[in-house]
Amino acid sequence: MNFYSYAYIVQQGQFNALMQYGVSFLLLIALLLVSIQFIRHRLNSRYRDLTILLSLIIVFVLGIRWSEYDSSLRNSEESSRMANFVVTVSQRLGVPKEDIRVSALHLNEDVIISVGNRFYRAHFTNNFEAYSLTQVHMIDSQIKVVDIAKE
């Protein structure tokens, strides 16, 4: 069973957005370079075709980005709620938030919390505004911790 650290939850949403912005930026730079070549060599249809092709690719990527924008906002909000939950649990149990691992990246009714060799299950209200913790015993206490790479 995978358990995620606080640092991984916080960092989770940031990497995907950074990668998508990088690809979009590279496409815009390529369009700019090809457009400059097209302006310099108006009689050469190759640059005109490349300009049209890159413009269509950018429109396609922008369409994908627009559809991913909403899901990105939702994922960011869910990661923020989970990070806030981990901070609250750390305060309640009196342990550092870095010692807490959770079994999901988003709040749901099946979240298991690992603190050292103790495991808890979180029971939430319908709107996830309140919770209670119940200690549970894992059949297989071997867990895989997913964390950010330490440099």
SS3 151: coil
Provide the domain count of the chain.
1
Query: What's the CA gap between 8 and 92, in Å, rounded?
Result: 21
Residue 119 structure tokens: 């495991």
pLDDT tens sequence across 84-138: 999 999 999 999 999 999 998 888 888 999 998 899 999 998 888 899 999 999 8
- Give pLDDT tens digits for 63-87: 877 777 777 777 778 888 888 999 9
Q: Which residues contact 51 (CB under 8 A, 6 or more apart)?
A: 31, 34, 35, 38
For residue 122, count other CB atoms closer than 10 A to its CB. Answer: 21
Question: Does the predicted TM-score (pTM) go above 0.75?
Answer: no
Domain that holds residue 131: 1-150
Q: Which two tokens stand for residue 138?
A: 């894992």
